[in-house]
Amino acid sequence: MEDNVSTKVSEPVAAYPMTSYNDVMDYMHSIHISREDKEKVAKRLTIEVSQPALAEAYERIDHLSTLQKDWDGHGSLPISYKVLGNIKRVLMLSQNSDWEHWMIAPDTNATLCIESEKTGAVISLGAYEYSYFAKIDGVRYGDSHIDFDPESFLELMRRF
């Protein structure tokens, strides 16, 4: 008799249930990898446990980085490595609350579109520049061709 439970090969099963920072550290001490790799894994696991919105943003970027040419069936380009690097720089500066109402979507021209579920503001992130548009309480905000800087980008997100 078959059960209806399926497992994904890409998702390793952790021997330890991780619901706190201490659980993450216990797990890290139990695995046999280099100290540098342990630090990377610990940081990622700590984010997943303590900052779910930020972890979801990281997971979304990981997924979007796998898109190939023509991912939409209409000739779209894969997300540029430079764009992926830019958004990761923003994520490294971010707190969980910064991502609680933002969605990340690919755009067909190798860029990312980041939209606020709360305000409807949209930010388009390219390799060297970003643009934004928002209409909040009847007031329009927007600008284009802003040189990318992760701190300024994050501050804009926090405004909206």
Q: Which residue segment(s) compose the domain that 121 sits in?
A: 70-159
What is the predicted pLDDT for the residue at 142? 95
What is the predicted pLDDT for the residue at 53? 86
81 domain-assigned: yes
What is the predicted pLDDT for the residue at 12? 41
What is the predicted pLDDT for the residue at 111? 95
What is the predicted pLDDT for the residue at 51? 74
Spans in the chain with pLDDT lower than 70: 1-33, 35, 37-50
Pairing state of beta strands 129-136 and 102-106? unpaired
**What's the pTM value of the predicted model, to 2 decimals?**
0.68
The owner of tokens 């979801």 is 56
Whole-number Å distance between alpha carbons of 110 and 84: 10
57 domain-assigned: no
Number of domains in the chain: 1
